A and B are shown apart, each in its own frame.
Chain A
Amino acid sequence: MSRIDELFAQTRGEGRGALIGYLPAGYPTVAESKELLAATVDAGADLVEVGFPYSDPVMDGPTIQAAADTALRNGFRLKDLFEVVESVANRGGRAVVMTYWNPVFHYGVDAFARDLAAAGGLGLITPDLTPDEGSEWLAASDTHGLDRIFLVAPSSSDERIALTTAAASGFVYATAVMGVTGARDTVGGAAQGLVNRTRVHTDLPVGVGLGVRSGDQAAEVSAFADGVIVGSALVAKAVDGTDAVAALTKELAEGVRRPQA
């Protein structure tokens, strides 16, 4: 049982969704990103996604694009990623990395998995790598004991959901709407349908992301999903510092614990 499996066993036992918070490594600087991630861990994020700032983030909206640009301009390098992951682990948090595929491919898939595991990372979320092209990653994740979190989307056919969930471990990342990352006023109505369709094919926990930004939305999603993923809203708070990030994390952590109506 991986540490992510244990986490979801615990949150399911508590009758709530897990809170999963995203922040990019190196934003605005490597040192500050460690502090921001520490703040989310301390304030109640059950799992953090450490984002890899990449030059061509095709699945990201303006908030995360701008954060990646800033991190790169401030000199973020790939080796810094492992250092940031290690800081989360040392803080007592659980970290997975969210990254576009080319940096992993370029580093060497097995070497990347090895170094991520050594830094205390628990797995990888791969927005532009599906199981279809994932054979090398499937092997490396097995070798180094990492979870592989693949995405499903409202447009995914049942056949593709079956293929994706069969290859996934840890949890399944359900994108609530068709589109890029970014805070939205409403989480798409498609989210619950997608979670239900996913559950037909797997017992893996299902996390819902894209658009969640408030405690109310976290409560709403927590009612039907195993995990509530918050990215852009946290990134937007990062400019206001650790207190602002901690405050939003607390609100979201209360949201996922709110008794179901």
Chain B
Amino acid sequence: MTDTAPQSSQSPHSSRHDPDARGHFGDYGGRFLPEALMGALDELAAEYDKAQQDPEFTAEFQRLLSGYAGRPSLLSEAPRFAEHAGGARILLKREDLNHTGSHKINNVLGQALLTKRMGKKRVIAETGAGQHGVATATACALLDLECVVYMGEVDTERQALNVARMRLLGAEVVPVATGSRTLKDAINEALRDWVTNVDTTHYLLGTAAGAHPFPVMVRNFHQIIGEEAREQVLAQTGRLPDAVAACVGGGSNAIGIFHGFLDDTDVRLVGLEPGGKGLDSGEHGATLTQGTPGTLHGALSYLLQDEDGQTIEAYSISAGLDYPGVGPEHSYLKDAGRAEYRAVTDDEAMDAFQLLSKTEGIIPAIESAHALAGALRLGRELGPDGLILVSLSGRGDKDVDTAARYFNLVEGV
């Protein structure tokens, strides 16, 4: 067998943490997709490799990140929130302040630029909560690309405002009524579109999962989160954090912020997964804490599956986290012991959601509230000397309706 994927060894971002030439992070990753897509994946890997070494591409990407997305994002200390965390200091990496309101913009700008380079005119994407869909629709509006977003029917109902947002931005939103009608099925439908239209279409995958080169490429587009945060934490505190906390659905914001600290072996990397109604309830999306290795959507990684290898539907109050798979690099980091993964229930996440809103005047995305809940626990473990960096991956405007129902904030809702 021959290795057809190019080596990325010359790229400015490459490191000893890169996967092998065929996209394996240890035992995980690789390519488990139909032959019909292998050509497109090879083309994407080759084009990405060239783009990384092209100063014009990297300059254009940087220009969009600073001049359009609003980077660097702030690092804010959260002292009143931290009073509830055993007195540890808590610093928030404010990805919620990026244009479109989450970290997702980093990856979509990178992939949209690549789409142009490949001469493709049409972009498809999946979305769960709508953050990635909105970001993709935004980048496509900016760069004059046709945009189709697949979204599970359950999610179009939970996140109706984001559907309207995408349509305002000129995207077509296709509700997906198959399977569990959530993120996993939206990805299935996007893959079916891609296999049909691959000549003209780029699949702008929204998380660091899927077949090679998506996990490494999406990670690299997001590792600016960790690079900025590391410098900012050092500048503001004179030291590295004891722990970095981030929520993990597919795992893109987590892998982005973790990568700034992978070589700092004293810094604990903690991923917070959706524990839903509790791990014992069976209604959760805690892939890394409860799953076993398997293939889904193109990669070998931890997976929620039954004894026959059928995918189990994930559940979370957060539409952005209820995914039964996870990016393969997280599986690798878990097995290697470099990162640890814990589950946070809906109730814990909603408590943290409300606490940050009331103590710091920041309404976080419910996804990010899982990381905040994890930070509260870590703070109590670390005590007053602890320093915790939290990836505040998105803002919570999209979740106000869910929160209003959860907390009974509006009569009649």
Contacts and interface: CB of A to CB of B under 8 A. Distances in A.
Interface of A: 54-59, 61, 65, 69, 72, 77-78, 101-107, 127-133, 135, 150-157, 159-160, 163-164, 167, 175, 178-180
A178 B195 CA distance: 6
Nearest to A160: B38
A58 B294 contact: no
B408 interface: no
A205 B103 CA distance: 50
Chain B binding surface, main DSSP class: mixed
A56 B33 contact: no
A57 to B, nearest CB: 8
B196 A179 contact: yes
A255 B39 CA distance: 34
5 contacts: A65-B178, A102-B311, A133-B30, A167-B1, A179-B192
A107 B309 contact: yes
Contacts of B295: 101-102, 105, 128
A58 B192 contact: yes
B179 A156 contact: no
Given A56-B296, A159-B4, A175 B36 contact: yes
A101 B195 contact: no
A55 B311 contact: yes
A178 B38 CA distance: 12
Contacts of A163: 1-2
Contacts of A130: 31, 35, 38
B294 A160 contact: no
Contacts of B292: 106
Contacts of A132: 1, 4, 22, 30-31, 38
Closest 3 CB pairs of A and B: A106-B309, A153-B36, A103-B309
Contacts of B33: 58, 128
Interface in B28-51: 30-40, 42
Contacts of B311: 55-56, 102
Given A107-B309, A131-B1, A178-B196, A160 B178 contact: no
Contacts of A154: 36
B38 to A, nearest CB: 6
B303 interface: yes
B32 A54 contact: no
Interface string B283-324: 000000000101111101001010111110000000000000
A102 B22 CA distance: 19
Residue with the highest number of chain B CB atoms closer than 10 Å, among A77, A104, A128: A128
Residue with the highest number of chain B CB atoms closer than 10 Å, among A61, A131, A133, A154: A133
A102 B305 contact: yes
Given A56-B188, A106-B305, A107-B309, A133 B34 contact: no
Interface in B162-195: 178-179, 184, 188, 191-192, 195
A127 to B, nearest CB: 6
A153 B196 CA distance: 11
A101 B30 CA distance: 13
Contacts of B296: 56, 102
A59 B310 contact: no
A175 B2 CA distance: 23
B339 interface: no
B144 interface: no
B199 interface: yes
B198 interface: yes
Nearest to B191: A58
Contacts of A58: 33-34, 188, 191-192, 195, 297
Contacts of A77: 308
Contacts of A57: 188
A151 B38 CA distance: 11
A104 B311 CA distance: 13
A133 B192 contact: no
Given A102-B294, A160-B4, 7 more contacts: A55-B179, A58-B33, A69-B178, A101-B295, A105-B294, A132-B30, A179-B192
Contacts of A150: 35
